[in-house]
């Protein structure tokens, strides 16, 4: 199969809709990461997503709808804080897990009774969702466990030959996947941290918990139990107070002829003068938007990425450290 990359516009969207309606799977942009899309009511098409990604069949998918879609067609909106959250943060990088009405096929929810629902803010994606006139399920458009793609080219690098079309909507502005929030109970609970932070949710919903994932727990969001986001090169992770150790490893690797890169936030650059660097930027949003791109650049150029962890875990940093530790730890 030949994989084409086409700029997202009216014509390419019409072509995408044709493929989707005939049971195909395509790459689509969102504001977080690129998705691997199929019509959510088409069991055969959804099975293709799992095949193409090599995704474990116990890890459910997110359903994406446009901003005017009546979500009560798909889920039961049971908590009074849900409309407030939607008002404030949707469209945007927030996914709500609610009780499903069973319209989305069972393959997409792995037989479960809940559905994860998201309204992407990416304008091209909105146009696609409107044109398709159906909910589209999509995981990140990478081979399972690999780093998530934030450009059409990244999708191509992973899925070339496996899908017919990738809609190119530019580099994703968000850079890490949406916050997944369980809203089936009185207090919402973050299953996967992201750009919509605990603090932002608390402000609107009055409270917010963070799910803890310990070994042996019954897993509520199956995706979080897997090692994830891994670049295809060796990695190491150091804390910010272990800069000397990171330098020692860099020098040792370089001395044995390996290409080593330090990945860190930009303010630390001066500690690593003369070394190969993958700089992440300064503020939380900037670091999130650059993280996967630097990992994917790093795996092409480096034998080992030596990453320096973030000094904090509040706000957006919770999502960043979660990805950084799973990708490099």
Q: Which stretch binds ligand TXA (CB under 6 A): 14-22, 113-121, 199-207, 271-279?
A: 113-121
Nearest-angstrom CA–CA distance, 48 and 176: 24
Partner that binds at residue 221, options Mg ion, ligand TXA, none, CB closer than 5 to 8 Å by kind: ligand TXA
Q: Is residue 32 within the footprint of Mg ion (CB under 5 A)?
A: no
Q: Is residue 135 within the footprint of ligand TXA (CB under 6 A)?
A: no
b/e per residue 314-327 (b: at least 16 CB within 10 A): ebbbbbbbbbbeeb
Q: Is residue 140 within the footprint of Mg ion (CB under 5 A)?
A: yes
Per-residue tokens: 96 = 């709500």
Per-residue tokens: 147 = 């780093």
Residues 39-98 that bind ligand TXA (CB under 6 A): 59-62, 95, 97
Nearest-angstrom CA–CA distance, 273 and 282: 17
Nearest-angstrom CA–CA distance, 180 and 174: 15
Position of tokens 């407030």? 84
Q: Which is nearer to Mg ion, 91 or 149 (CB)?
A: 149
Partner that binds at residue 109, options ligand TXA, Mg ion, none, CB closer than 5 to 8 Å by kind: ligand TXA
Strands 165-168 and 114-118: unpaired
Q: Is residue 147 within the footprint of Mg ion (CB under 5 A)?
A: no
The nearest distance, CB 241 to Mg ion, in angstroms, is 31
Q: Is residue 119 within the footprint of ligand TXA (CB under 6 A)?
A: no
Nearest-angstrom CA–CA distance, 329 and 273: 24
Q: Is residue 136 within the footprint of ligand TXA (CB under 6 A)?
A: no
- Binding-residue pattern over the window 93 to 132 for Mg ion, x denoting contact by CB under 5 A: ----------------------------------------
Torsion, Cα 256 258 259 263, to 10 degrees, reads -80
Partner that binds at residue 135, options ligand TXA, Mg ion, none, CB closer than 5 to 8 Å by kind: none
Q: Is residue 322 within the footprint of ligand TXA (CB under 6 A)?
A: no
Partner that binds at residue 291, options ligand TXA, Mg ion, none, CB closer than 5 to 8 Å by kind: none
Q: Cα dihedral sign for 261, 328, 271, 292?
A: positive
Per-residue tokens: 141 = 């458009």
> Which phi and psi angles does 111 have, rounded to 5°?
75, 0
- Binding-residue pattern over the window 232 to 271 for ligand TXA, x denoting contact by CB under 6 A: ----------------------------------------
Strands 260-264 and 277-279: parallel
Q: Which is nearer to ligand TXA, 79 or 221 (CB)?
A: 221
Nearest-angstrom CA–CA distance, 142 and 327: 14
Which positions lie near ligand TXA, rule CB under 6 A? 30, 32-33, 35, 59-62, 95, 97, 109, 112, 114-116, 118, 138-140, 177-178, 180, 191-192, 220-224
Which positions lie near Mg ion, rule CB under 5 A? 140
């Amino acid at each position: 199969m030949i994989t084409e990359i086409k700029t997202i516009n009216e014509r390419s969207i019409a072509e995408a809709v044709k493929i989707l309606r005939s049971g195909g799977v395509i790459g689509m942009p969102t504001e977080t990461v690129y998705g691997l899309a199929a019509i959510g009511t088409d069991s055969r098409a959804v099975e293709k997503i799992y095949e193409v990604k090599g995704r474990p069949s116990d890890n459910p998918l997110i359903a994406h709808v446009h901003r005017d879609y009546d979500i009560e067609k798909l889920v039961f909106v049971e908590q009074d804080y849900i409309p407030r959250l939607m008002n404030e943060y949707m469209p945007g990088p927030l996914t709500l897990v609610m009780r499903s009405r069973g319209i989305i096929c069972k393959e997409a929810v792995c037989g479960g009774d809940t559905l994860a629902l998201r309204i992407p803010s990416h304008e091209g994606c909105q146009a696609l969702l409107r044109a398709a006139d159906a909910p589209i399920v999509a995981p990140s458009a990478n081979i399972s466990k690999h780093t998530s793609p934030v450009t059409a080219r990244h999708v191509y690098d992973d899925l070339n030959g496996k899908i017919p079309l990738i809609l190119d909507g530019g580099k994703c502005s968000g850079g890490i996947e949406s916050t997944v929030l369980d809203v089936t109970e009185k207090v919402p609970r973050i299953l996967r941290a992201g750009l919509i932070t605990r603090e932002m949710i608390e402000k609107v919903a009055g409270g917010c918990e963070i799910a803890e994932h310990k070994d042996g727990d019954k897993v509520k969001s199956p995706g979080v139990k897997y090692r994830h986001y891994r670049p295809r090169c060796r990695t190491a992770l150091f804390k910010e107070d272990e800069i000397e150790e990171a330098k020692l490893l860099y020098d040792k690797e370089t001395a044995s002829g390996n290409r080593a890169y330090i990945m860190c936030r930009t303010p630390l650059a001066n500690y690593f003068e003369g070394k190969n660097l993958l700089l992440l930027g300064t503020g939380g949003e900037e670091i999130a938007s650059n993280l996967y791109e630097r990992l994917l650049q790093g795996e092409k150029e480096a034998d080992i990425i030596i990453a320096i962890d973030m000094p904090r875990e509040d706000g957006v940093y919770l999502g960043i450290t979660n990805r950084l530790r799973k990708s490099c730890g």
